Copies of this chain bind each other. A is one copy, B any other.
Amino acid sequence: MVAEEGAKKSNCLRCAMRARSIFAGLSGEELCALGMDVIDLEFAGGTTIYREGDSASYAYTLREGAIKLVKSLADGRAQIVRLLHHGDLLGFEGLHREQHQHTAIALSTVKLCRLDLRELDLLSQRLPAVREAIFRRWQRALEEAESRIVDLGTRRAEARLATFLLQWAQAYPQRRSLPFPLTRQDLGEFLGLSTEHVSRIMADFKRRNWLRESRGELEILDPKALGAVSVS
């Protein structure tokens, strides 16, 4: 739960992430000329990166690990609004809003680079490519959100879970065993189900030998079977 925070100036030029970042379109020279403070951070799993309602000063690019964006309800329950993987952005709602719209929590150890929102705003006004990149991410987020609305509105628990597992796997291509730092409660809060119900379905999938699971790792043994359930 304690923030094991590391911080150092980032070298964007050499960043492995650069091609997939919002600075993808820029030349090396343009990148150097940004004059932006970009700082690399590392947090332990469980760390809260920002809270819903916090005034928004920074946005982040997730370089490694997974993060959940959560909205908390008055009655103590919570809904996971989005799950983020390496390459995803977070905190960008601060470009137009004073405050963060979700609570961001690291699911595993994460590496982030942190961008100052004010600088980013100016930058995006100056550089069409940056603005364009942010815009596109936004659109993709909207499409994913709408697809989750369809999911939640029309599909049953088994199908939602199966769909989710397959999508999770897509975030880690060419890996036979996937990092899987989600608890049953996380799954429930993402899929709109009780933890018990998630547990039953996961146990069922495992009994059918569609999955294998061991401390934070997941292996999908029968994607076809899961695919069949996910459409039903």
Which residues does chain B contribute within 8 Å of A146, judged by CB atoms?
A: 71, 81-82, 101-102, 145
Among candidates B73, B96, B150, residue contacting A154 with C-beta atoms closer than 8 Å: B73
The residue of chain B having its C-beta at the shortest distance from the C-beta of A81 within the complex is B146
> Is the CB of A174 closer than 8 A to any CB of chain B?
no
> Is the CB of A74 closer than 8 A to any CB of chain B?
yes
Q: Is the CB of B79 within 8 A of A149?
A: yes
1/0 per residue A69-103: CB within 8 Å of B?
00101100101011000000000010011000110
Q: How far is the CB of A184 from chain B (nearest CB, A)?
A: 15
Q: How far is the CB of A212 from chain B (nearest CB, A)?
A: 28
How far, in angstroms, from A170 to B192 measured CA to CA in the complex?
A: 27
1/0 per residue A190-210: CB within 8 Å of B?
011000000000000000000
1/0 per residue A124-163: CB within 8 Å of B?
0100100100011011011101101110111000000000
Copies in the complex: 2
Which residues does chain B contribute within 8 Å of A71, judged by CB atoms?
A: 146, 150
Q: A131-B131, A142-B142 known; A154 and B79 CB under 8 Å?
A: yes
How far, in angstroms, from A77 to B97 measured CA to CA in the complex?
A: 36
The residue of chain B having its C-beta at the shortest distance from the C-beta of A145 within the complex is B145
Q: A81-B150, A192-B152 known; A96 and B145 CB under 8 Å?
A: no
Instruction: Please name 23 pairs of A and B residues whose Cβ atoms are closer than 8 Å in the assembled complex, sorted by A.
Output: A71-B146, A71-B150, A77-B154, A79-B149, A81-B146, A81-B149, A96-B136, A97-B139, A101-B143, A101-B146, A102-B146, A135-B135, A135-B138, A138-B138, A138-B142, A141-B142, A142-B142, A145-B145, A148-B149, A149-B149, A152-B152, A153-B189, A154-B192
Ranked nearest first, the 9 interchain pairs of A and B with the lowest CB-CB distance are: A153-B192, A145-B145, A152-B152, A79-B150, A79-B153, A142-B142, A81-B146, A71-B150, A79-B154
